[in-house]
Structures are given as structure tokens and as C-alpha cells.
Structure 1
Amino acid sequence: MTDMNASIVEEWLDTNQEFMQNYFMRRADILLINKWLLHHGFNILQEYVSQFGPRGSISQENGSPSSPLDRCSGDVFFDGKHHRSNSKKHLRQDYAKSKMRNMFRTYEPTSTQESTTEARRNSLKEMRMFRSLPPNSVNILSLLIQSRVRLPRYPSKDIDIKRELRHTNEREFFLEIVKDIANDLDLKSLSSKIIANISILVDGDKGSLFVVEGRSGGRGTLVSKIFDIHSGTYILPATSGDGSIRVPWGKGVIGHVGDSGETVNLTKASQDPRFNDEVDRIIGYKTESLLCMPIRNADDDIIGVAQVINKKEGEQGFTKDDEKLLGTYLPFCGIAIYNAQLFEAYSKDYERNKALLEVVHDLFEEQTSLDNVILKTMQRAQTLLKCERCSVLLRDGSSEKSFNKVFDMGCPLKNGHSTTSAEHDLCLGNKIAELVLITGESINISDAYQDPRFDPKTDQITGYHTRSILCKPVRNRDFQIIGVAQIVNRLDGHPFDDSDDQLFEAFSIFCGLGINNAQLYEEVALASARQQVALEVLSFHATVPSDEITQFKVKKLPDAQELRLEDWKFNDFSLNRDEMVMAGIRMFNDLGLIRKFRIDYDVLCRWLLTVRKNYRNVAYHNWRHAFNVCQVMFAALKKTNCRRHLSDKEILGLTVACLCHDLDHRGTNNAFQQKTSSALSQLYGTKATLENHHFNHAVMILNSEQHNIFANFTSDEYSEVINFLKHAILATDLSIHIQVRDKFFNAVNQDQLSWDDRESRDIIRSILMTTCDIAAITKPWEVQRKVADLVMTEFFDQGDKERNELKIQPQACMDREKQDELPKLQLSWIDGICLPLYKSLSKMDPCFKPLLDGVLENRSWWEVLDTERLAKHTVVETGV
């Protein structure tokens, strides 16, 4: 095309940019795109070399680039200070995550490039945004690892093209081989490129590259990731399980250079004592000359050794100029190798942390089966640590050095685990496992057959060859050893290193947590089963047989008038046990509860008889007391105006609460439960301990088969009545009564008592419960005196327990030695609790006045007895 034609086409393209862009989108390949990038300012390697020289390091302080190369899309990052950062955070390159992913997919030269016009347009748009992304937006290494993307590699030229470029334009060739390795993070691929480039650079026939590995805790080893013809090694390197070749530190020419850091340039290699021709003899190759130089990082640490053998043309050996050229190129190799090693370490850390998180997930996901927890943990450990076998041996609870269960997982996996069913399963490393179990110390054996603690008979029995063993104790949350975890034989043939030890330590901890959680779950499940059985047994023995119910069904229901149930002066001891049950049915009937709530008669009989049966045979807080409290409530609902203000559900809740408010009472008060740290106090706490137990016991009876007198309620109605029931039973705790009575007294005294708001109704129901609970103080003197004796009998029994069992001095009201002070104590009880309550009740509703009169009458009797007590006391003291 002539210049005129070219200018015409260019002018036409300028005026038809949309066509030009579409054409570019359809026709441009990855090479053209890379040229476009280089032309528009992305040839930063050349800019770096011209401004900063060949040395550099990985750094990006405070998230801002310090040299042109920091802004590139590759994996090699530098700073102007030529220092390598000691933190992985300096591997950051700040680009938006989604943008980078799309861009990397576009840059990567694969056979699956997007072909649509829209995809290419988006790709170029991403490129234009490349240098304008916000700082500190994402950690580029995390992005690469998580998305499993690789940075765009510079398209490496063919070896013949490189050789031609080496002789035609040395400067361009040098920049070419620097760019060739600049952004390759795969150490194996990088090694191949470096070997090819150094061979071309100094006209060598063959090359080798060894990098330093395993420095932690030692001097390390020189390792080659690819097999290439090389010479000067002390012995023929053995190829390990991962395909790499290892040379001992300080051995042979390569080992010597790695150890000393000196350059070795031999014209006659075979004449040097450090040279070994075993490789030549095996592969039929003749080494004449060699050039071996160390590779250093930015901290001047040796991280590898490069070797070129047999100068091709001209000189008999490698010259000083060759040394200088190679010495100029190797610092760039050091940067690339360090980046690749760091990225590889970062990748391993990421995968290991991911595996540990998956273990934690497994522990929380699976806690119901001990076997599943251990097997999942073993699978994770075996996959990440890349070992042939993984075992967990659980300690026998009856022995300090034996196991009762073994989990053994081989590689490849074969149906999971084996247990104690086979004798040889217990023999796998058994002596070492026993030693770890006894001492609690980890054991790491690099060569089992050279260690006296290993018994070769185990391999003879199993037909397995053990090379290396790592064994650790497994502990529970109390740091007690509950087993041993063991891994055998790394897949690559190497012994377990410090990194394996640390990672397996984490797995043993997680394994211990998983075992502990699974065992706790099993204990809870077992306890739940025991509880269920206990409830079934208690339910059977706590309920009444059907024939007993039949007896009550055929009996004629007595009249309330006949039983004097509406009388304030009802004799608490006038009815026997069966008559009280019939009277209870009568009260339900006369309050209209059976009809209004459609309570089944058989269910009501069964419920009343079961409630009676669940009261213990104690002196006062027994079934008779519960019935007497219910009788007073019945009289109050019949004789006063309270019934007009209470709903039917509230009346039902109060009636049931009176009969159930002391269920399973043990004859001791709340303070005694707390002093003895009883199971009740542990279960319900220190507030209203017994009252909470009474309520729960009532609910248990209601939930028993054919005992639910609330069966015809909807769920909302049931919840409402249950709440009334709970509130009423808890109100019988005197400490709660003292908290609410002042509000009641103030409302009555100020004539502000309201039945309309919820809080006032709650207070009134609480006051009614206490009124009925302590109503024995209002009964005729003969009844009151007998009840007082029963109460004191119960109190004295508790006082005896406190003195004899708890070794504490009981309160005066419970001290048997002070029983003559009963009149004085009763006066204090009446004046402090009873009189204020019944005075306010009488003021609220005059129909309660007979109760106040009964209290005053009984007070006068107690006052007489107290006067007689004081007179006797005076006679004793004075002798008159």
C-alpha cells in the first residue's frame, strides 16, 4: 500500500471510528492487544531498568506504588528503596476484584477466548481502567488464589528467536528475557524459562536451576523442580515423590556454591575435586566447562543456584563477560523466584486455612456421631498433609496406656475406617502411640527403621512399609488426653517437617474438640433418654388407676351448702381425703367451670386424684392445705364482688392454682433449698425456687395423658390460662407479695383501685392468692391453733436439719429449743403480714370483713398466751 493509500485509509478510519473499533474487536488477537498495551505505557520493565537498575524487591508500602514497576499487572512488585518487605501485606496490588477477574480472563492466552464483539469491547474498557483503579481495593494475591486465576504471562518467544535476538540486539534480548520471567508465579514453569534463558545468554549447551527449600530449623536443601542434564553434583540426586531433585547442602559444585555464595567457573570440570562425573557416565554426556553462580534475593540471601555447562562457540570455557552477563540477569531471576516462592507459600497457607475452616464447619455440622466427626477430621488431615495413612486411637477409659477403639484411614481411601475387630489394626504404631499416650509429648520420626521406639513387627504383620511417623496426643476441653492422632508416610517420600507438625497440631486440637462435643452430645442424648424413662415411670406411678376414678364417678356429688364450702369459718379438718376430692368437683361445678370450658368429668376426676397423689406426706404443706386454700378462694368468689370483675379464665386459673400451688412440697422453704444447693435451686435459681417447681409440676400433670382439663382450649386460650396459672402460683411466694402489696395498699387507701388495666388486675389476683394461702389465721381459734402446731412441726423439722446437717443456727421460728416463743412469733406474723392485708381487703370490699374479724380474734388469743409466757418467764427469772 502506498503512503497516499495509507493516509486515505487512516483518514477514513478516523471519520468512521465505530467501524474501526468493531473491526479491531473482531480481528485483534492477544498478541496485538499486548502490543497495544506496550505502546500505551505498559512497557514498564524497560522504564524500571533505565531508572532503578536490575535490583528490586517485593514491596508496596502503605498501599501506594513506589516505582513504575509497582503499577504493572504482573506478580513482581518493587520499591525504590531496593528492600524486600518482611510481611506478606507488601504483596498487595490494589485493583477492583471483579474488574481484575474479567481482565485476567481476557489477557490469558487460552483457546477459549471470548469471541463476541460485546465481550471484546468490555475487555478493552477494563484495560483503559487499569491504571485508574482506587487504591487499597483488594489484595491481589488473595484474589488470584481464591479465584484460581493466574496473572497474564508475557508470551515467551521461541528459543531460536531468542538466540537470533541475542546476536542481533543484545539490549532488546536482555529486556525480552527479563519480561519472560517477570510475571510467572509457577516455580516449575519459571525454572524452565530461566534455564533456557541463561543457556542462551552465555551460549551454554545445557543449564540447571536449584532453589533453596526447607531452611526452617536447618540449612536447607537445593531442589530442582524440573529434570535437566546437569553436572557437578556430589552424588546422583534421587528423584522424590513430587518429581523434584535434591542436592545436599555443601556437596558437589552446586552444593558448594549454595553454601559459600562463590561463583565457580571451570574450564576443565573433570579436574576439579568438587566435580563428580557420575551423572555424565549414566546419561552418556561429557561435561567440559561449567559456570555456576548463586541467586540472591533483595536481602542478599542465597535462594538458589544457577549452572550452565559446556560453552558452545568460541572460547573453551565461560569468560568473565559471561559471568558479568549472568550476574546481571540473576538478580531478576532472584526476584521472580522469590515472588513465586512467596506466592506458593501464600497459596499453601490459604489452602491450609481453608481446610482448617472446613474442619471447624464439620465439627459444628456433625456432632451427633463420634465416628463421623473423627472420620471427617481424618479425611481433611490426610488430604491437606498428603500422607499415606491417618489414624486416631481412642484411649480406654479403664486404662492409662491402652486403646479401645482405632480409626485407620489409608490412601487411597478404602471405605473409611477400621475398629478393634481386627487385632493388627491396634498394632499400627502401637508402641509409639502408647508412648505418646503416657508422656503426652509429640513424636516425629523421620526414619522409622532407624528409631528404636518403632517395632518393625508391625509392618511384618500388616505388610506395610513405614518410613516416617508423626504422632500427637488428643486432648479434651479439660486438657486430659483422650487419645492419640497419628499420620504415616508423606506421599512425596520426605519426612514430616515443622510445617506439618504445626498443621497436625491444629488438627489434633480440632479432633479433640470434635470428640469432646460428640461425647457430650452422646451423654446429653443418654441423659435425655433416662429422663424420658423416668418421666414415664413417674407418670405411671404418680397417676391414679382407672378403678379408683370409677369409684368417684358413681358417688353422689354433695351439695356446697352441706359441705359449708361458702362459709368463711369452714373447718379445715372437717372432711376426709375422698370428701375433699368430691368437694373439689363441687366447686368446679358451682363456679360454672365444667360447663363453660367443657371439661370432661372423667378427666376432672382423674386430674384431682392425681393432684392429691402428688402432694407429699408433710405436716402442713400437703393436700389438705391445698384444698383449704381453694375453699377460701371459692368462698371469696361466691361472697364478694371480685367475681364480677374477673373473667372466667382468670377464675379457672385461680381455682387450679389454689389446688396446685404447693405440689410436691418437701416441707422446707426456699432459703433451705439455697443453703443446701439442692437440685431445685440449681434448676430454678434463687428466686421463687419452690413456687416455680410447683408450677412446672402442675404443667407436667396437665400434660399427662387424659389429665388435661384445658383440652378444649385453642392454643391462644391455653397460653392465656397457663399464664394466669403461673402468675397465681408464683404470687404465693411471700417475697413477691411484699413487693406488690404496697401498690395494692396505696390504691385502696387512695380509692384508686381499678379493675380495668392489666397491672391492677395482676395485683388483685396476687393479693387474692396470698389472702387464701394464709387464711388459716382467720379461722376459729380451735382450727387456728391446730394449724399453727402443724406449721411449727414442719418448721422445727427444717431447723433440726439445719442444726444437725448444715451445722448452722436455725432462725427462732424454726428452733425447737425456742418453741415456747410461738405466741410471740405469731403476733409478729399477724402484725407484719396478716393485719395490713385483711384491713385493706375489708376496705376494698366489706364482704372480706369476717376475715379481718377472725384475724383480730386470733390475735387476742395469741396475746393472752404471750402474756402467760412472759409471766412464766418472770417467775423463772425472779423465783417469785
Structure 2
Amino acid sequence: MDRAAGFWRNRRFFKFRSNSNGNTAQRISDHKDMNEQEIQVYLRNHPEILEHFVMDEVELEQLERWMIRRTQKAKKMNYANRKTSLSRWRFCVHADKRQMLEQLTQQLQNKPTKAHVLFELASCISNAVNADGFRLYLVEDASETLTFVLDSETFDENGDPKIQKIRDNPVIARYVASTRDQVRYSRGDIDPRFSNAGICDRETQHVLCQAIVYPEGSLVAVIELWRGESSSRFHEEDEEIGNSYLVWGGIALHYMSIYINLNKQKKLNDFLLAVVKSIFQDMVSMDMLVIKIMNYAQRLVNADRASLFLIDSKTQELYATIFDIGFEDDIQEKMNSPRGAKEATEKMKSEEIRFPMGTGIAGQCALRGEVFNIVDAYSDERFNRNIDQLTGYKTDTILCMPIFIRGSIIGVVEMVNKRTGYFSKEDEEAFETFAVYCGLALHHAKLYDKIRRSEKKYRVALEVLSYHNTCSEEEIERCEKMGIPANIPNLNDFYFNPFEIDEFVKVNYVIYMFKDLFGFNRFDKKDLMRFTLTVKRNYRRVPYHNWTHGFAVANSMYSILKNSKMSFRPNECLALFIGSLCHDLDHRGKSNKFMLESESPIAAIYSTSTMEHHHFNQTVTILQQDGHNILAKLSSTEYKQILSLIKHCILATDLALFFPNKDKLMALVDQEKFSWSILEHRMMVNCIAMTAADLSASAKPWEIQSETVKGIFEEFYEQGDAERRAGRVPMAMMDRNQKDHQASSQLGFLNGICIPCYSLLYRLIPETRPMLKQCQDNLTRWQAIDDLKKKEAIELKK
């Protein structure tokens, strides 16, 4: 009281005049020589004078200092070791308030849980009313049922308040939770509400119990303040103090709850994003995915162990090869490297376990499709204790959740023993969101496994096919013994007859044409032999689109290139020749329209230019085989360029693309805008040249042309037969019962496609005039045949 006494001697005090006690105040001012003891006695007898003086004259900062000193003197704080408390912040001077607020905010952000904030508030109220301690009863999420308790004297190893499940029956707290009433109770009181059993703790003599609610009225917790034998009862003033804090605390908790929820949602979103990146970007195997899912699940809900069981829909069983993952901080790092992932998988993998649906917690979860959040496993009759007995591991809490995909349960994830406290409703909600991604990941992993197995099967099939569809060493030896002719008369003649040459001899003729056009400086002769022999093998034995047709088209392109004086670039020439040789590889003798209508697997892969895409794909497949890459000595840039040009040339043989190419090029020629120096213009010429070579049978002498047409129509009729078997009516041209339509169909083909093609090519490359002339002659012959057929038909009608 030394400072206080000195202060009261200040002259301001004696100038103070109270409205109600002016005479008394004046009397004090008349006795300026009063000592300290006399002043104290006088103020005790006249407290109203002190109250008026303090309220009107004392600065707020001074008042706050007195409050802190008074609180500290009245009761030594039980939590002096805590860095910050709400009570200290409430009664601090303005100079320190900002710093204290920053410390408190940082502390709450470091541990932003509702329990932690409530504990701070309870500590504040306990200090304010001079309680000896408190018990804070927390409600279970969304149920307003008291489930957990925080005790002011119980902390964990980290110094944080320890959350415990309620063991005793907190009669008063449950009453306050249900009624929201405030209760003051002392041991021995007769209160019909509690049947004289309100106090269970021996040390507790007096209780003040109050509800903590959000502004909208929902229950957050119940605080039970207590005093021991050496302390007095709680009074109405204590209730008022508690109420003042609870009003502020409820508002603070409301906004803190919003902050915590937003913060949790952000963390959950960040976590799920990391999960999605991890489990979708590297689907190595199902086992590795299972380990990742379980590890992420553990971290999400802070569980000690994790198990994931998949459902075998055929046997109605749950199974797992990796079913008990512990909490390891380095497992995620291991899974990020192929070697570490393999080692971790092998270490955790065990013999497959299986059990029927409906067995145990996981089996019930899978059977019923419900979430099980079990606080005490041993008190649940569905829990199987045998595993704990065998392993020595004690199971306390379980969170088990089904994983759905497209409405069906495909598995169950079981989390065991939350590392701190119990699995909460928030854990359930977070894990339910996580389970959606688990389902997608597992579903795609299964598809990935199927695709990978299919790929393995495809590779095996490809190996078998490549063995049978790749030229043999005997064929290569035979080709080498025959040798490449030094000169082949008339080979570059547009009227060269491909039917006069043996099938095998055609191989050496192709090599001769290749050498004549490009030489062997940049190409390996033996690779070219293998390539050509394998190309020959990959033409099917169909009536028209066979090896002879491929050779004939390559020969026609050779003639165009040899006779042309126009500016085809070297790489374009190479692509045109290879494209012509390979343009119908693995042709099945059926049109693109038939492949689409019959739902061929090829049509599912290529929706446009179906067979042409397949022919190019087969070309690349041959080039990729050992000893077949005739382009191996080219630079990477040239290789890519020539492959692109080959694809362009092969796709150009689709007659559906001929018409737009022809119209564009014809417009350029008619308007005298065409130029050989423009790449786009040359690419269109390449297309027209490919069509001209592909249809070159129509530009051969009549004997060759008529022989070729026989093969064409036999192939048409085979397609018509297949359409009839499939229940479709073939067009007249493909109906072997309507052979009289051959001449008329040829007239339409020559007039609509061949003559326009060769006419345009002649304007661009005049040296190709023989092709146009012979096509016109053949048109005349077909016209005569058609006229004769029509005349015979008229005669029959007569």
C-alpha cells in the first residue's frame, strides 16, 4: 500500500467533491495531516468515496495495472508456466496489449483447435473467479452430447491439455448441457435436481457450472469450476464474472471456429491435391498404390496403423496382401523413387489374407456400406481380438470406411488407434472426401493393371507375329544370291507389266529402283533387303490389294519420278517411293466403310482414313524391327521429316481426300498461282501423284487393265458376300449376282476419278501424258462394252 498511500496524499484527492458525500470529502480536505493508517480506515468506512474517485479520476492504464497486481496477489496462477493466457491479455496495459494479442494469435494459430481455444477461455474464467481448478466438458460433434473432458491439471508430454473420454458421471455438467442453466453447488447442499450426488471428486467442495454456447445458441462445451475445502463457496458475483467472459468467449469461439474450419478446409484441399498428384502421376502397381493410400490416410487422420482390403466380387470376400501399415515418416520419401518403392513394397508385402464379407469390423463395413467410428474396440462385440492376441498390439480406436466407385463398394480402409485422442466427426468427413479419390485411384489402377496385362499379351502376340511376318535369313540369302540386276529394260515405262515378274524377283526389282533413285551411300543394302522382304510378307493374299499391287504402285511412282523434270525435293521423292511401296500393308480386302460398319477394332483406333492410318502404322512397325530401319543413317531431323512425309503420302491414297485436294490444286493451276517453290503446293502435288500411282492399273494397256479389274471385282464380291452374311444388302458393284454392272461401274470410276486425276497431273507434270492417254483409251473400251451390254439387255427384253 506504499504507492497507494502516497497517491491518496495527492492534492487532487482532497479537491474531489462527491455529489452524495460532499461534506465528508470536504472534511477530509480539512485534515491534510492525516496519516496513512487513518486514510485507510476512513476509506474502508466510506467505500463510496473511493468508488466515485476511481471511476471519474483514475486513468484506465493505471486501473489495469492495479487489476493485474490485485489478481496476482489474490491468487498465484496455477498456469504461470504458460506463455500466454486470455486473462493476462484481458488485464494488461495498453502498451503491452498489441504484443500480447500477437502472441496469443500466434499461439492459437500454432494449435488452432477448438479444444485448445476453449481451454484458454476456461483458464481465463478460472483465474477471474479465483477457482482452484476446472473441468471442461466437450460435446461430440453435432450431437450436443458430453463425451470428452479436459482437466486443468492434466497435460500430455508436449504440455498441451490432454483430451480424455468421460469416465465418471458428471451429473451437474450434463444437467447444464441439457438446460443451459447456471448451477452453484457445494458438497452437502440438498438439491433435488442432483439427488445429492452432484460432486464426485473428493477434493471438490464447491462447484460453479456454466454452459459455453455459440451466439446462435448451439452448445460448445460445459465448464465446471471448482474450489477445495480451504476456499469459500461460489457467489452470484462469480456467476456474473463468468457470464461476462462467456459472452465474449462465445463470440470469439464463433469466429475462431470459422477460421479453424477454413484453415482445415485449406489444409485438406492442399492435402488432397498432393494425394491426387502422387497416386495418379505414378501408377506403377496396385501394391504400391495401396501403400500410398494407406500412408496418406494415416497422415490425414493421424492414425497409428492402417489397413486396406479390396473386395473380390466373385467370391464375396475381402482380401489384402498389404494390410497393416505402421506410421513411418520416411515411407513417402521411399515411395518417390523406383528403387525405394520396390524395396518398401517387398518389405510390407505378405501372404494374401482373405475373409468373408460380414466378418469383423472391416467385413461389416463392406457388407453394410456404413462408416464405423469405434471409441473402444474391446467393448464392441464385432471386434475380433485374435489379431491383437497374436501380435501383442492393443487396438483402442477404429475408424473404418467403405470405398465406393460408381455406387459400388470396391474396398474398405481401416484406421487403427488415433495417435492423440479419438477419431472425430471431422476425421470422418475429411476421410470421406479422401475416400472418393481412393476409389478413383483404385479403379484406375485396376484398369491400368488390365491395360498393362493386355499390353504384355499384345507384345507376346507382336513377337509371334513379327517372327512369322518377318523375312527369314534363308530369304535374305536367296535375295543376295540372285543379285541386283545391272539394268532392267523398260522398268521406268508407264506401261510396264508387273504380272510378268515372279513374286520373289519383284523384291530385287524394288531394290534396283531404290538404288537407281537414291543410291546406297546413305542407306544400308542389307537393311533394305530385309525391309522389302518383310514388306512383301505383310501384304495379305487377297485378290487385289496384295504384294503385286504394292509393287505395281511403287513401280508407277518410280516411273513418275524418273520421267519428271519438275522440282520434287529429295526427301519428298524418298517418301513418295516408300509410301507407294507400303501404302496398302496388311490390307484386308475391305473398304473403310465396311470396317466402320462391321465395328472392326481398327476402326475403333482410327475413325477417319481407317485403313490408310493402319498401313502407315504397319510401315513404322517394320521400320522399328531390328535390321529393318532403312532410314537409320539419316539425321534425327531428316528422320522425323521423312516419316511425316510418308504418312502424308499414304493417307493421300484415301479417295475421300482426293476430291478436296484436286479442287484446291485445280484452282491454283487455273488461276496460274501454282508454284513448285511453295511447300504447300508441292504437298498437294504429292497427293495427286500418290493417287495416280495407286490407280495406275487404269492407265496400263488394256490387257493389263482388264486382268487387274478381275482381281478388283473378286475382292468387291468377297466384301459383298461378307455384308450379306452380316444381314446387309451389298451395293450392285459388290454383288456377285449382278456382274453386268462391271462395265458401268468402271465408266463411273474412270470418268469421276481417274481421268480428272491424270488430266491434272499432266498439267503439272507433262511427262505423265502416257498415263492420261492410256486411261482415255481404256475408257473408250469400257464404254463400248457397256453399250454392248445395254444393247443385249434391250434385245432380251424384246
Smaller-chain TM-score range? 0.7 to 0.9
In structure 1, the residue matched to 2:476 is 549
In structure 2, the residue matched to 1:614 is 538
Secondary structure of 2:223 counterpart: strand
TM-score by length of 1: 0.70
Tell me by how many angstroms 1:373 deviates: 2.4
Measured on the aligned residues, the alpha-carbon RMSD in Å equals: 3.9
CA distance in 2, matches of 1:379, 1:458: 21
Comparing 181-190 with 667-676, greater Cα deviation is found at 181-190
User: What one-letter code is carried by the residue in structure 2 that aligns with 1:264?
Assistant: V
User: What one-letter code is carried by the residue in structure 2 that aligns with 1:518?
Assistant: A
Tell me by how many angstroms 1:557 deviates: 3.8
CA contact (8 A) 1:263 1:291 kept: yes
In structure 1, the residue matched to 2:449 is 522
In structure 2, the residue matched to 1:208 is 134
CA distance in 2, matches of 1:770, 1:379: 61
Secondary structure of 1:227 counterpart: strand
User: What one-letter code is carried by the residue in structure 2 that aligns with 1:791?
Assistant: I
Match of 1:797 among 715, 718, 724: 718
In structure 1, the residue matched to 2:40 is none
CA contact (8 A) 2:557 2:577 kept: yes
CA distance in 2, matches of 1:612, 1:561: 20
In structure 2, the residue matched to 1:682 is 604
CA distance in 2, matches of 1:873, 1:271: 124
In structure 2, the residue matched to 1:309 is 227
Tell me by how many angstroms 1:345 deviates: 5.4
Match of 1:579 among 505, 508, 512: 505
Secondary structure of 1:390 counterpart: strand
Match of 2:632 among 711, 715, 720: 711
Deviation string for 1:272-294 (max 9, x for gaps)? 4635487554xxx472x554444
Change (3 A) 1:609 1:155: farther
Tell me by how many angstroms 1:760 deviates: 2.0
Q: Does 1:263 align with 2:182?
A: yes
CA contact (8 A) 1:388 1:411 kept: yes
Deviation string for 1:761-789 (max 9, x for gaps)? 11222222211211211222222111111
In structure 1, the residue matched to 2:91 is 176
CA distance in 1, matches of 2:578, 2:606: 22
Q: Does 1:421 align with 2:351?
A: yes
Tell me by how many angstroms 1:440 deviates: 3.1
Tell me by how many angstroms 1:817 deviates: 1.9
Q: Does 1:645 align with 2:561?
A: no
Structure 1: gaps of 5 or more residues: 1-49, 51-153, 167-171, 230-240
In structure 1, the residue matched to 2:741 is 821
Secondary structure of 2:91 counterpart: helix
Q: After superposition, where does 1:65-214 map in structure 2 within 5 Å?
A: 161-163=72-74, 176=91, 183=104, 185=108, 201-202=128-129, 204=130, 206-214=132-140
In structure 1, the residue matched to 2:591 is 669
Q: After superposition, where does 1:501-540 map in structure 2 within 5 Å?
A: 501-540=428-467
In structure 1, the residue matched to 2:779 is 859
CA distance in 2, matches of 1:437, 1:680: 41
CA distance in 2, matches of 1:773, 1:251: 95
Change (3 A) 1:200 1:749: closer
CA contact (8 A) 2:144 2:219 kept: no
CA distance in 2, matches of 1:576, 1:473: 69
CA contact (8 A) 1:311 1:317 kept: no
Secondary structure of 1:526 counterpart: helix
Match of 2:496 among 570, 589, 597: 570
What is the count of residue pairs matched by the alignment? 693
Identity of aligned residues (%): 31
Tell me by how many angstroms 1:711 deviates: 2.7
Q: Does 1:471 align with 2:400?
A: yes
User: What one-letter code is carried by the residue in structure 1 that aligns with 2:688?
Assistant: I
User: What one-letter code is carried by the residue in structure 2 that aligns with 1:481?
Assistant: I
Q: Does 1:485 align with 2:413?
A: yes
Structure 2: gaps of 5 or more residues: 1-54, 56-64, 78-86, 332-343
User: What one-letter code is carried by the residue in structure 2 that aligns with 1:436?
Assistant: C
In structure 1, the residue matched to 2:319 is 403
CA distance in 2, matches of 1:220, 1:750: 91
Match of 2:171 among 246, 252, 257: 252
Deviation string for 1:121-155 (max 9, x for gaps)? xxxxxxxxxxxxxxxxxxxxxxxxxxxxxxxxx99
Match of 1:692 among 590, 608, 613: 613
Deviation string for 1:649-683 (max 9, x for gaps)? 32222222221111111101111111122122222
Secondary structure of 1:392 counterpart: strand
Secondary structure of 1:695 counterpart: helix
Change (3 A) 1:615 1:310: closer
User: What one-letter code is carried by the residue in structure 1 that aligns with 2:415?
Assistant: I
Tell me by how many angstroms 1:812 deviates: 1.9
Tell me by how many angstroms 1:871 deviates: 2.2
Change (3 A) 1:468 1:242: farther
Change (3 A) 1:191 1:361: same
Tell me by how many angstroms 1:525 deviates: 3.4
Secondary structure of 1:677 counterpart: coil
Change (3 A) 1:665 1:753: same
Deviation string for 1:543-591 (max 9, x for gaps)? 22223222222325446554x3133332232111122222222322333
In structure 2, the residue matched to 1:877 is 797
Tell me by how many angstroms 1:611 deviates: 1.4
In structure 1, the residue matched to 2:699 is 778
Deviation string for 1:403-442 (max 9, x for gaps)? 253411346899898555386x969994332233334333
CA distance in 2, matches of 1:458, 1:347: 38
CA distance in 2, matches of 1:295, 1:452: 36
Secondary structure of 1:615 counterpart: coil
User: What one-letter code is carried by the residue in structure 2 that aligns with 1:543?
Assistant: T
User: What one-letter code is carried by the residue in structure 1 that aligns with 2:446?
Assistant: Q
In structure 1, the residue matched to 2:519 is 594
Deviation string for 1:717-751 (max 9, x for gaps)? 22332233222222211111111112333444455
Deviation string for 1:581-607 (max 9, x for gaps)? 22222322333x124x43332222222
In structure 1, the residue matched to 2:788 is 868
In structure 2, the residue matched to 1:434 is 363
Match of 1:727 among 636, 641, 648: 648
CA contact (8 A) 1:258 1:305 kept: no
Change (3 A) 1:205 1:781: closer
CA contact (8 A) 2:543 2:715 kept: yes
User: What one-letter code is carried by the residue in structure 2 that aligns with 1:364?
Assistant: F
Change (3 A) 1:269 1:343: farther
Tell me by how many angstroms 1:869 deviates: 1.4
Q: After superposition, where does 1:38-53 map in structure 2 within 5 Å?
A: none
Comparing 218-227 with 412-421, greater Cα deviation is found at 412-421
In structure 2, the residue matched to 1:105 is none
Deviation string for 1:347-388 (max 9, x for gaps)? 555554444343333323542133332223222322342334
CA distance in 2, matches of 1:453, 1:255: 30
Tell me by how many angstroms 1:298 deviates: 3.5
CA distance in 2, matches of 1:604, 1:523: 38
Tell me by how many angstroms 1:615 deviates: 0.8
Change (3 A) 1:735 1:300: closer
User: What one-letter code is carried by the residue in structure 2 that aligns with 1:176?
Assistant: F
CA contact (8 A) 1:474 1:482 kept: yes
CA distance in 1, matches of 2:691, 2:567: 18
Q: Does 1:298 align with 2:215?
A: yes
Change (3 A) 1:800 1:459: same
Tell me by how many angstroms 1:505 deviates: 1.9
CA distance in 2, matches of 1:795, 1:697: 23
Change (3 A) 1:643 1:700: farther
In structure 2, the residue matched to 1:833 is 753
Q: After superposition, where does 1:378-397 map in structure 2 within 5 Å?
A: 378-396=294-312
CA contact (8 A) 2:187 2:199 kept: no
